[in-house]
Amino acid sequence: MAGRVAVVTGGTRGIGAAVSRMLKDKGYKVAATYAGN
């Protein structure tokens, strides 16, 4: 998966955080976004 980039919305908590970590572990460069309350 070299050279891959992923954008994960809601990537700082819950399922989004788990997906972000999984992608990072697989070699992706990850950009995670969130919106505050």
Q: Other C-beta atoms within 10 Å of 22: how many? A: 13
User: Which tokens hold the place of 16?
Assistant: 């989004």
Q: Domain span at residue 29?
A: 1-37
- For residue 2, the model assigns a pLDDT of 61
Q: For the segment 2-27, what is each residue's pLDDT rounded down to a tens digit?
A: 689 999 999 889 999 999 999 999 99
Assess whether pLDDT exceeds 80 at residue 37: no
pLDDT for the residue numbered 26: 95
The number of domains in the chain is: 1
**Quick one: pLDDT at residue 18?**
94
Residues in the chain: 37
What's residue 12's pLDDT? 86
